[in-house]
Amino acid sequence: MSNYKILIVDDEELNIELMTDTLEDDDYQIETASNGVEAIEKFKACKPDMVLLDVMMPVMNGYDACAAIRELEGDTDEVPIIFISAKASLEDKISGYKVGGNEYITKPFDNSELLLKINLAFKQKEQIKTLKTSVNDANNLALNLMVTSSKVGLIGQFLRKTLTCNTFSDLLKDFFELTRENKLGCTIKAIMNGETLIQSDDGIERPIDFEIVQHYTSSERIFYFGKKRALFNWGNITMLVRNVGDEADNIALMLDGMIASMQFMEMQSLLLTAIHSFQEQNSQFKVKAATVLENMEEELRMTLCELGTSTNLTEEEEENLTTIVDQNRTMLNEVFLNSQQLEESLTQALSNYQSRY
């Protein structure tokens, strides 16, 4: 028999029977309740590992019941609560998320979807447990350097790192080290060089978090979901934070550093591309110009040879023509020299820049 106990809350007896049959086949222990008030009492009495919660119920709806459960003493935040409801809009899902829901399934649902999301929620719960016990060991070297510093000092270290990051992956790695140290728990969507990336700081994929950062929009730079959670809209970055606390100003400062570093990287990429393009075009120009000059000189010599027997060009006239060609060659050589000096200056500047950063 499974060690997991699931509390099913629904005012429709048929729905309870269907879910109970499905879950008992997978050896889950089942407790039931028919409304929000009864759910709270059952939760306190049987201490379930998960709650499957309907929304529209008499006496107390699912949203209010979820909020009340999250306010109970103990580690109620660690118990996954999955809403199961016919209300299917994004606003309905957001309402569930605001009061502490972890996932949302719309009715009618397939049994395989229900089992998949339950298994995923328990897997995430175990991953979080494992992370809580191993994160200190995994990040021991980095965290030891930060432990003795204040939060302001940590943010200062991160902002200094943003000045030397060459890639967005390095920048994101440093940023996530800081969010984990402060136990913020965040999922971030970032747009860099036209590409979109969505990632959480603990590596766990939470479908509802990903959906919110991908699709939810707000005119506010910081939009709160209840007391702990907030969505930060920061230009090319949208970040959902699960444990904001009193860190909103610090998070804003960190995001300012992220945005500035991303803009610098994009500008740097454009600059390097422009320099390489100039070098390539300048090289092609020199080859083409030299070829044109050589062809012109050869054609002039052949023309003078042909005209020498059929015209009355004097020796002085022929010398004047040759002088004109030589003068143009000299001018072209000066252009080549100036171009070469400019290319060498750009190459040296590029080398100095790359060695610095």
User: Would you say the C-alpha torsion 104, 109, 115, 116 has a positive or negative sign?
Assistant: negative
Q: Name 144's bridge partners.
A: none
Do 129 and 141 lie in a common domain? no
Do 141 and 260 lie in a common domain? yes
- What is the structure's pLDDT at 69? 95
Per residue in 278-321, pLDDT (tens digit) is 777 777 777 777 777 777 777 767 766 666 555 566 667 667 76
Q: Structural domain of residue 238, as residue ranges?
A: 137-264
DSSP H or E segment with residue 81: strand 81-85
Do 9 and 132 lie in a common domain? yes
Q: Indicate the pTM of the whole model.
A: 0.56
Per residue in 208-235, pLDDT (tens digit) is 999 999 888 778 899 998 888 999 999 8
- Among 200, 234, 264, the domain boundary falls at 264
Do 85 and 65 lie in a common domain? yes
Phi, psi (degrees; rounded to nearest 5) at 32 = -130, 155
Assigned domain for 121 exists: yes
Do 143 and 75 lie in a common domain? no
- What is the structure's pLDDT at 136? 54
- What is the structure's pLDDT at 101? 93
- What is the structure's pLDDT at 148? 37
Strand-pair category, 186-192 with 195-200: antiparallel
Assigned domain for 18 exists: yes
User: The domain spanning residue 98 has which CATH number?
Assistant: 3.40.50.2300
Strand-pair category, 222-225 with 229-234: antiparallel
Assigned domain for 270 exists: no
Domain count, the chain: 3
Instruction: Supply the Cα-derived Rg of the chain in whole angstroms.
Output: 35
Residues lower than pLDDT 50 in the chain: 1, 141, 143-149
Tell the burial category of 254 from Cβ atoms under 10 Å away from its Cβ (0-12, 13-18, 19+): buried
Assigned domain for 64 exists: yes
- Among 136, 161, 179, the domain boundary falls at 136
Token pair, residue 68, equals 């009340």
Distance CA 240, CA 257 (A): 17
